[in-house]
Amino acid sequence: MIRLVDVHKSFGSQQVLQGLTLTVPRGAITAIIGPSGEGKSVTLKQMIGLQQPDRGDVQIEGRSIIGLQRAELNTVREKFAMVFQNSALFDSMTVYENVAFPLEEKTNLSKDVIAERVRNALLDVGLRNVDHKYPDELSGGMKKRVGLARALLLNPEIVLFDEPTTGLDPVIRRAIHQLIQETQAKFGFTAVLVSHDIPDIFEVAHYVAMLYRGTILQFGTPDEIRASDNPVVRQFISGSLDGPINIGVA
Ligand SMILES: Nc1ncnc2c1ncn2[C@@H]1O[C@H](COP(=O)(O)OP(=O)(O)OP(=O)(O)O)[C@@H](O)[C@H]1O
C-alpha cells in the first residue's frame, strides 16, 4: 500500500503540494484527476522517490522511503513499474529489444526464457508480429502497448501510469483503458493512473482522487465522485467554465 502523509513540495516560490494526504488501496486502480499543473505528476514522483518532499512522509507497505540510501530505495523501486506519457521506448531498439531490456539488465535468465516471456508479454497486450519493428514504425497506441508490456514483464506490485492515453484518438484511448483494466484484473497489481480522460476514467478506476490546490480535495469511488456536491469537483468533472476553478482566461 502507498501512503502519502501531509506531503509538501515547492519549487522555488511555487508551492505545489501543500499537505497532501492519500492512501492508495492495494490491488485496485486509483485515478488521480485535477486541473493541469496542480501536481499530479509530482505526486506520482513522490510515490516512487523520484522527488523528495520538503515535509511529510511517503510510505510503501508501511515503511517510510524518506531518507533511504540509494540501494534501499532501489530495492523499494523494484516493486514499481512506470508507464510514461511518451512510452519512453528506445528508438534505436526493436520492439523485442525494448521489452527484453529490463529482463536482460536485471535477471540472469537464459535467452530462451527471455524470448518466451517477451512473446507472452506482447500477446498479453494484444501485439503480434511486431517484434522486429522499431518504435518509429508503430502507431501511438501500439507504442503504449509496448510500454505496458515492458512495464509488466518484471511482475510489478505497483504500476504508475502518467497520462497513458495522451495524444490518442477516442477509440484507441478506450482500448488502452480496457487493456489497463484487463491486465490489472489479471495480475492484481496496484495501479495509480494520472488522467485527464473524464468521464471515461470513471469506467476504468475503482477509486478516484481529485487533486486541487496541493491537496486531495475528495477521494472516493467513481459513483461517489460523480455524486459529489463539492462545487470544485462538480465543475471539474462537468468541464464547465463557470465555477470556483480559476482557468486563467479573461
Ligand atoms: N522539477 C521541477 N522543477 C520545477 N518545477 C516543477 C518541477 N516539477 C514540476 N514542477 C512544477 O510543478 C507544477 C505541477 O506539475 P505537474 O507536472 O505535477 O502537474 P500536473 O498536475 O501533472 O499537470 P498536467 O495535468 O498539465 O500534466 C507545475 O507548475 C510544474 O511546472
- pLDDT of res. 247: 65
pLDDT digits (tens, 9 = 90+) for 213-248: 999 999 999 999 999 999 999 999 998 888 888 766
Q: Which ligand 1 atom is nearest residue 211's CA?
A: 21
Ligand 1 atom with least separation from CA of 194: 22
The pLDDT score that the predictor gives to residue 168 is 82
Is the separation of the CB atoms in 20 and 214 below 8 Å?
yes
In this prediction, residues 10-29 reach a mean pLDDT of: 97
Q: What is the Å distance from ligand 1's center to 7 Cα? A: 15
Answer whether 90 contacts ligand 1 (Cβ < 6 A). Answer: no
The whole-number pLDDT of residue 243 equals: 83
Distance CA 151, CA 130 (A): 17
| pLDDT of the residue at 48 | 93
Mean pLDDT, residues 125-129: 88
Residue 73 confidence (pLDDT): 92
Nearest-10 crossing angle of helices 95-106, 140-152 = 20
pLDDT band of 201, cuts 50, 70, 90: very high
- Provide the pLDDT confidence category of residue 250 given band limits of 50, 70 and 90: very low
Q: Which of 136, 48, 124, 127 shows the shortest CA–CA distance to 92?
A: 136
Say if residue 249's pLDDT is above 80.
no
Q: How far is the CA of 36 from the centre of ligand 1 (A)?
A: 8
What residues contact residue 101 under an 8 Å CB cut-off, 6+ apart?
90, 93, 150
Mean pLDDT of the chain, nearest integer: 92
- Asked if 204 contacts 33 with a C-beta cutoff of 8 angstroms, the reply is no
Residue 11 Cβ < 6 Å to ligand 1: yes
Which pLDDT belongs to residue 248?
Answer: 60
In short, whether 9's Cβ falls inside 6 Å of ligand 1 is: no
% of the chain beyond a pLDDT of 90: 69
Residue 93 has pLDDT above 60, yes or no: yes
pLDDT tens readout for residues 32-83:
999 999 999 999 999 999 999 999 999 999 999 998 999 999 999 999 998 8
Least Cα distance to 45 among 98, 6, 82 occurs for: 82
162 lines ligand 1 (CB under 6 A): no
Q: Which residues contact 90 (CB under 8 A, 6 or more apart)?
A: 97, 98, 101, 135
Which H or E run includes 209? strand 207-212
